[in-house]
């Protein structure tokens, strides 16, 4: 069956797989909803998009992105309120960031209607896949790959844009243990650290594998020039509560402009919490810990939402933070953002796109 909705043709599945979804046991990134959006770019323009049953792609072994890494993505989430209404959280901000990544990676920008309206129609079609439990959502993964069938180092001319969706529970089920990395580097000035390019994550796999063997969950990266200033945690921006202030590294060429990061800063400042965006060195963190002023540390990200950090290890120093249940900032912040996303509190910022 196919029907035309605006300029997006919809091909519905004959039989839904939603019976495979167990709301009491949702594992992040394991199960995908019935449909996906697909659009192709050829001869300098985007062709009409389609929503089709979720399935495999047929690609030549010479497809460009497999060899030269022209691939970018985003992470967005859809939620349901108590009445069952579906919303998407801040999709326009992800669209703008997606296009910043596209420009840096010599890829075509995505029109707003294709990204946002295509996403809205896809979520509307698969709205039954949005779980309703606390800290659950439908994770939306827009991504673009270079699809020239050509072995040669040059910017591609053909691209495919897709959106797939997956029911999601908490990314981290408990407060995380962090290893502060000062050997390997995530990003350098002039590079692509500010983008959500696939290669940024590919390069992090080996160092992450090594620290997980040591018993840690994630890496806190430091800058590539001095190995001294904190940058990001694997999948998250990072915040530290030191004394009566919240400090987070300022965004730059090497730090992603996180949408959850921006949301967190806005609501904290509205509550009167002092938030400083500035360079933050490991030395300052260690000194704050030794002085009893390091009160909380947490990461922010679309997948992770607000993720509390139980401990940080730097060389031989293990910095154990106070019990999470005593935290005042991160716990409040997580509840505040959830209340906005789930429609329990007025969305004064216009962040929720109603589906």
Q: Are residues 336 and 226 in the same domain?
A: yes
Dihedral (C-alpha) 220, 223, 227, 232: value to the nearest 10 degrees? Answer: -10
5 pLDDT higher than 80: no
Q: What is the pLDDT of residue 3?
A: 41
What's the confidence (pLDDT) of residue 172? Answer: 79
Q: Are residues 109 and 188 in the same domain?
A: no
CATH number reported for the structural domain that contains residue 74 in this entry: 3.30.470.10
Q: Does 227 reside within a domain?
A: yes
Overall residue count recorded for the chain in this entry: 355
E strands, the chain, where? 2-5, 8-11, 35-42, 45-46, 50-53, 71-73, 76-80, 86-89, 137-146, 159-168, 176-181, 218-222, 230-233, 237-242, 245-248, 274-277, 294-301, 305-314, 317-320, 352-354
Write down the pTM of the prediction.
0.94
> Is position 355 within any domain?
no
261-273 residue pLDDT tens: 999 999 999 999 9
**CATH number of the domain that 183 lies in?**
3.20.10.10
Do residues 117 and 5 make contact, with C-beta atoms less than 8 angstroms apart? no
Within a domain: 312: yes
| pLDDT-derived band at 4, boundaries 50, 70, 90 | very low
Alpha-carbon dihedral sign for residues 313, 318, 323, 326: negative
Which of these three, 153, 169, 185, is where a domain ends?
169
Residue that the structure tokens 């400090």 belong to: 247
Q: What pLDDT was estimated at residue 120? A: 97
Helix ranges (H only) for 256-318 are 259-270, 282-290
Within a domain: 310: yes
Percent of the chain with pLDDT over 70: 98
Averaged pLDDT for residues 172-191 = 91
Q: In angstroms, rounded to a whole number, what is the distance separating the alpha carbons of residues 175 and 35?
A: 33
| Residue 6 pLDDT grade (very low, low, confident, very high; cuts 50, 70, 90) | low
Question: Which of residues 135, 169, 203 is at a domain's end?
Answer: 169
pLDDT tens track for 91-122: 999 999 999 999 999 999 999 999 999 999 99
Of 154, 169, 184, the last residue of a domain is: 169
Do 13 and 106 lie in one domain? The reply is: yes
Structural domain count of the chain: 2
Same domain, 123 and 225: no
Instruction: Assess whether 289 and 250 both reside in one domain.
Output: yes
Nearest in space to 30 (alpha carbons), one of 135, 163, 166: 166
Residues of the domain holding 246: 176-341
Mean pLDDT of 159-186: 93
248 and 106, same domain (yes or no):
no
**Separation between Cα atoms, residue 11 and residue 28, nearest integer Å:** 26
Asked if residue 300 is part of any domain, the answer here is: yes
Report yes or no: 71 and 197 within 8 Å, Cβ to Cβ.
yes
Q: Are residues 75 and 217 in the same domain?
A: no
């Amino acid at each position: 069956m196919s029907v035309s909705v605006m300029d997006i043709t919809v091909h519905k599945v004959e039989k839904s797989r939603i019976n495979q979804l167990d709301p009491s046991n949702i594992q992040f990134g394991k199960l995908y909803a019935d449909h996906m959006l697909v659009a192709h770019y050829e001869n300098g323009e985007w062709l009409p998009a389609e929503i089709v049953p979720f399935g495999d792609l047929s690609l030549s072994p010479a497809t460009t992105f497999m060899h030269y890494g022209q691939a970018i993505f985003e992470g967005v989430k859809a939620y349901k309120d108590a009445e069952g209404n579906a919303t998407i959280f801040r999709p326009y901000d992800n669209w703008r960031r997606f296009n910043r990544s596209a420009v840096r990676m010599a890829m075509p920008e995505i029109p707003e209607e294709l990204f946002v309206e295509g996403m809205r129609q896809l979520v509307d079609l698969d709205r039954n896949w949005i779980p309703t439990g606390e800290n659950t959502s439908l994770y939306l993964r827009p991504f673009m790959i270079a699809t020239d069938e050509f072995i040669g180092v040059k910017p591609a001319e053909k691209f495919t844009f897709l959106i797939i969706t997956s029911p999601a529970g908490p990314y981290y089920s408990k407060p995380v243990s962090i290893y502060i990395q000062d050997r390997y580097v995530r990003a350098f000035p002039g590079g692509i650290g500010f983008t959500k390019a696939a290669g940024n994550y590919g390069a992090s796999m080996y160092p992450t594998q090594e620290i997980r063997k040591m018993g840690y969950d994630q890496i806190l990266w430091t800058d590539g020039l001095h190995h001294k200033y904190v940058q990001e945690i694997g999948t998250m921006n990072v915040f530290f509560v030191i004394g009566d202030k919240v400090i987070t590294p300022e965004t730059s060429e090497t730090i992603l402009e996180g949408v959850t990061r921006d949301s967190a800063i806005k609501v904290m400042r509205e509550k009167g919490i002092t938030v400083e965006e500035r360079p933050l060195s490991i030395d300052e963190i260690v000194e704050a810990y030794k002085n009893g002023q390091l009160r909380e540390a947490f990461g922010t990200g679309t997948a992770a939402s607000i993720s509390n950090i139980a401990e940080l290890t730097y060389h031989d120093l293990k910095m154990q933070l106070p019990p999470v249940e005593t935290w005042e900032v991160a716990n409040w912040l997580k509840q505040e953002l959830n209340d906005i996303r789930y429609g329990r509190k007025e969305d004064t910022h216009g962040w929720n796109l109603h589906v």
